A and B are shown apart, each in its own frame.
Chain A
Amino acid sequence: MSEELFPEPEWLSEEVKTGTTIIAVTFDGGVVLGSDSRVSAGEAVVNRVMNKLSPLHDKIYCALSGSAADAQTIAEIVNYQLDVHRPRTQYHRTFNKDVILLTSPDDNVVVKQKKKQHLHEIGHILNAFEFDKAWDRTVLRKIKEKVPHDLSIEVEDDPLVCSAATLVKNISYKYKEELSAHLIVAGWDKKKGGQVYATLSGLLTSQPFAIGGSGSFYINGFVDAEYRKNMTKRECQEFVVNALTLAMGRDGSSGGVAYVVTIDKDGAEEKCVLGNELPKFFDQ
């Protein structure tokens, strides 16, 4: 009696890979990132709707490819490291004057000043202060001086895309032998506008556009021929969707739906293009 009678399917022990096609393109005023949604383990598809565009910060996203575990872990680590750039105070955009605190989601109690003080003392609130919706960053900076020193406020500008890409590159380079993931970092910052960085094997290079993943080999010619400088946002999104469609059509490890994220000075906008909404190409 041999093991062949009950062979364990190979995909059970196979590592989960994101077969994938990922692409990031700059346009005049921002970047557009795109990815497919298929995650495979050997020959089986384990997740057909995975969003491979992972946020590192508000206006910086990265596209994952390669080993799913390695890519997810790198993205989460860099996301954690970039949290340093978040203002440490907790404020709610919808509250006007007072920060209304509830001791537990089930309570319907508005908490008064003395109670807030007590909650802060026993550690249920880390940082909080009252603010007015109309205040902006410059006002917050002035408040910084007036707040007690044990409530630390770090009002910092959003991180540069280059910083985020460098953090990713450092991890990819240091653990080059152990990891097998390729992340493309793209985003918008005040200094240089929309940028795309490729971080393959620990190299860091800024490019007008970048493609990655197993499906990218099929569209190298297409993107080289069709890319133009200074496209509009609309044209860029169409370019990305076309590239993804062509790659998903030819690569067995890419498929599902297309996720598209557009980042400009106003923020990031996520969109999902379903399979039947993708453009149709010559398909006999």
Chain B
Amino acid sequence: MATVSVCKYYPGGFSFDNCKRNALLEADISKLGFSSPAARKTGTTICGVVYKDGVVLGADTRATEGMIVADKNCSKIHYISPNIYCCGAGTAADTEMTTQIISSNLELHSLSTGRLPRVATANRMLKQMLFRYQGYIGAALVLGGVDCNGPHLYSIYPHGSTDKLPYVTMGSGSLAAMAVFEDRYRPNMEEEEAKRLVRDAIAAGIFNDLGSGSNIDLCVITKGKVDYLRPHDVANKKGVREDKVYGHPVTGSYRYKHGTTGVLTKTVTPLNLEVVEESVQTMDTS
């Protein structure tokens, strides 16, 4: 007696079958009457520039969930190691967790070597992890830091490719920010000039891209020192409502002058009530 069974051969490596299933579901889901939950994305503009003594990283602070701003002041510049920081664009959860995982691994690595970690090491770790997940982790990162070989700046894409450049931008506002960089970047700038350039690039992204907004955060990394300026620039100040208009207080106040509404008739009807029970409960005000 023979059993006829077909064993499915599972080749090694990750199985992305569920991703295909998800794609099919997404196509049909509107017919079923549901809507798929929108992941919170950091629509974003992030950028970085290498200047004379180090790197300056910049980011806006808006996080969107579909068309709604989920967080008006989120922090997109993540800590990797004392001398390396990373800005993240794409899905907020992915950038947050990826940078935390690599930060943790890098600390262990640094304790093992006994040396300050290098930016190239962080870059390798990030790109190998993102490549392993074939782009399904939606994290686009700008990695910058200063190590024993000087200042370095990398851009890392969700599929795992990286570029090492003197100035990079990422996110939905990256084209606007890159326009500013391409116009005004010079090698070996001074710190103030570099900070102004990054601030202006992020501002270009904030004002010309719907996915970016709110404030500008900067992070200046030099050999031995990190300045985390949050917020560096409050580009979008919330307006202050005027206190009084024509002498009447406006803000949240619904008190009107006596006589604002004219009284036409007045009727008083006494209600006859009997007192059934009267009890006193003392309140503990200690």
Interface of A with B (CB < 8 Å)?
1, 5-6, 8-9, 12-13, 15-16, 39, 41, 44, 46-47, 49-50, 67-73, 105, 124, 178
Contacts and interface: CB of A to CB of B under 8 A. Distances in A.
A46 B210 contact: no
B161 A69 contact: yes
B97 interface: no
Contact of A73 (B67, B160, B163): B160
5 contacts: A8-B172, A15-B135, A68-B159, A68-B161, A69-B135
A67 B127 CA distance: 14
A271 B161 CA distance: 23
Interface of B: 67, 114, 127-128, 130-131, 134-135, 138, 148, 155, 157, 159-163, 165, 171-172, 174-175, 210-211
A143 B160 CA distance: 43
Contacts of B172: 8-9, 12
A46 B157 contact: yes
What are the 4 A-B residue pairs with the smallest beta carbon separation, nearest first?
Answer: A68-B161, A69-B160, A69-B159, A69-B161
Contacts of B128: 73
Given A1-B67, A8-B172, A16 B161 contact: yes
B161 A6 contact: no
Contact of A6 (B67, B130, B171): B67
B131 A50 contact: no
A16 B127 CA distance: 13
Given A1-B67, A69-B131, 10 more contacts: A6-B67, A6-B211, A39-B163, A46-B155, A46-B157, A69-B127, A70-B159, A72-B160, A73-B160, A124-B114
B154 to A, nearest CB: 11
User: Which of A13, A47, A49, A105 gathers most chain B CB within 10 Å?
Assistant: A47
B37 to A, nearest CB: 14
Contact of A15 (B159, B162, B175): B159
B210 A105 contact: no
Contacts of B171: 12
A55 B114 CA distance: 29
B163 A105 contact: no
Given A12-B172, A105-B148, A46 B163 contact: yes
Contact of A5 (B67, B131, B159, B175): B67
Contact of B159 (A9, A16, A47, A105): A16
A179 to B, nearest CB: 10
A1 B210 CA distance: 15
A35 B130 CA distance: 26
A6 B159 contact: no
Nearest to A124: B114
A9 to B, nearest CB: 6
A55 to B, nearest CB: 14
A68 B127 CA distance: 12
Given A16-B157, A44-B175, A73 B165 contact: no
User: Which of B130, B135, B160, B172 gathers most chain A CB within 10 Å?
Assistant: B160
A220 to B, nearest CB: 27
B138 to A, nearest CB: 8
Contact of A47 (B131, B160, B165): B165
A46 B138 CA distance: 17
Nearest to B171: A12
A13 B171 CA distance: 10
User: Which of A39, A69, A70, A71 gathers most chain B CB within 10 Å?
Assistant: A69
Contacts of B210: 6
